[in-house]
């Protein structure tokens, strides 16, 4: 059965810290892995990863995929209180003629001043 497991489930850090969020997966017919940030509203898209070993960066956020070991990490450097959110990992798979998005439960990040 396809599944996505995120860790840790929750994390509390201080401003300025660096955090690493993990997403491991088991899936047949992998297509891509997506990271979303969810505050008190709907998820907003961060990254889409398709190839192993190619880091994607956006400001203080970066992410990389390892298709051999079946995981991805999301790094946030110099964290700010505005980074407090739930970070969701989702896997896009090809299921027959259909594409399916499988979601993890998320990592709840709290950044304290």
Site string for another protein, 64-103 (x = CB under 8 A): ------------------------x-x-x-----xxxx-x
CB of 78 to another protein, least distance (A): 26
Closest CB to another protein among residues 45, 55: 45
Closest CB to another protein among residues 77, 105: 105
**Closest C-alpha to 110, from 43, 39, 62:** 39
Q: How open is the CA angle 49-59-14, to the nearest 5 degrees?
A: 105
Structure tokens at 96: 């027959």
Sign of CA dihedral 32, 37, 41, 45: negative
Summarize as ranges the residues that interact with another protein (CB under 8 A): 31-32, 34, 41-45, 48, 88, 90, 92, 98-101, 103-106
């Amino acid at each position: 059965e396809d599944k996505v497991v995120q860790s840790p489930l929750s994390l509390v850090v201080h401003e300025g810290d660096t955090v690493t969020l993990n997403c491991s997966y088991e899936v047949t017919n992998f297509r891509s892995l997506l990271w979303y940030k969810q505050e008190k509203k709907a998820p907003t898209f961060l990254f889409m990863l398709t190839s192993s070993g190619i880091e994607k960066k956006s400001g203080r956020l970066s992410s990389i995929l390892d298709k051999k070991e079946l995981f991805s990490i999301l790094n946030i450097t110099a964290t700010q209180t505005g980074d407090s959110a739930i970070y969701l990992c989702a896997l896009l798979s090809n299921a027959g003629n259909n594409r399916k998005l499988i979601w993890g439960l998320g990592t709840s990040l709290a950044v304290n001043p």
